[in-house]
Amino acid sequence: MGKIALIFSGQGAQYPGMGKALCEASPAAKRIYDMADSIREGTSAQCFEGAQEELNRTVNTQPCVFTADLAAAYAVAEKGIRPDCVAGFSLGEIAALAFSGILTDEDAFRLVCKRGELMDKAATENPGAMVAVMKITPQQVEEICAQFDKTYPVNYNSPAQTVVATTGENAAAFCDAVKNAGGRAKVLPVSGAFHSPFMADAAAGLAAYMKDVDFAEPSVPVYSDYTAKPYEGDYRELVRAQVENPVRWQTIVENMIADGVDTFIEVGVGKTLTGLIKRISEDVRAFKAETPADLEALPL
């Protein structure tokens, strides 16, 4: 058997009740929800009972999804499963930093709360839109983006799925250009144009905040969304740059596979990353770990 990777989900799949069953079944998961409540009162209640509209606000989404991600990861570890490496999609990377020991759980939670505040503010002050593009290559998407002002590929998800950030004014014309190129485009229900220059102010604010945050060496390699390689060098810069630069998820998965990973476990909310991995490679296994039933079904 090859190596095991834990992958931490990003925002977008949040829903009322997320994490409740696992919190009730796993002492390790409950510890993370208790930690979150001790720093940001009401986080557990927001996860378990919050309305969808409330959970969809970036300032709430990020701490809630982070908590669900990290709780699920510790529940997997509680079963005796030890990953050889980790990665997280967007905000999921902050949970990966906590699990690996680069940040303490508490510092990572405070960081993700600040990240959510800053990105929410940047989205309000620099409005934008995000469009998922399917059925054409990333290179074709880049060529279409070049035809529009302030339009950037921001999530390289799989060989046939790329997410683009653009202005609200450009979104409809961009979708038409994608269709004319043989692709399919869908405007996403998100509150900002993330991982793009629209987030420059948020990245700067996060850099200032992190000056007082301690970073340590990881217990397992953490693959960076910004470089698609294991963390090395200036860790603060990797966290800062990730906010205003593309998530290179396909390359991360390909690099993990090249480094010997053949089993991926998605921890947290939903199964988006599990689906992407299956589109990137048919030669690896991908499982989700969100509920007690999911954990029992892991063939490890």
Q: What is the pLDDT of residues 94-134, one digit of tens each?
A: 999 999 999 999 999 999 999 999 999 999 999 999 999 99
The DSSP output letter for 16 is: T
Q: What's the confidence (pLDDT) of residue 13?
A: 86
225, two tokens = 């969304």
Please give the Cα distance from 242 to 10 (Å, whole number): 13
For 237-295, write each residue's pLDDT tens digit.
999 999 999 999 999 999 999 999 999 999 999 999 999 999 999 999 999 999 999 99
Model's pTM, two decimal places?
0.95
H helices within the chain, ranges in order? 20-25, 27-39, 43-49, 52-55, 58-78, 92-100, 105-125, 138-145, 171-180, 200-210, 235-244, 249-258, 272-280, 292-297
Q: Which domains does the chain have, with CATH numbers?
A: 3-125+196-297 (3.40.366.10), 129-187 (3.30.70.250)
Does residue 187 have a pLDDT over 90? yes
Do the Cβ atoms of 295 and 111 come closer than 8 Å?
no
Contacts of 188 (CB under 8 A, 6+ apart): 12, 129, 130, 131, 132, 163
Please give the Cα distance from 64 to 69 (Å, whole number): 9
Please give the Cα distance from 164 to 153 (Å, whole number): 4
In single-letter form, the type of residue at position 222 comes to V
For 36-86, write each residue's pLDDT tens digit.
999 999 999 999 999 999 999 999 999 999 999 999 999 999 999 999 999
Residues with a catalytic annotation lie at 90, 195
Under the banding of pLDDT at 50, 70 and 90, the label for residue 172 is: very high
- CA 133, 137, 141: angle at the middle one, nearest 5? 55
Do the Cβ atoms of 78 and 28 come closer than 8 Å?
yes
Q: What's the confidence (pLDDT) of residue 264?
A: 98
Q: What's the confidence (pLDDT) of residue 273?
A: 96
For 190-199, write each residue's pLDDT tens digit.
888 999 999 9
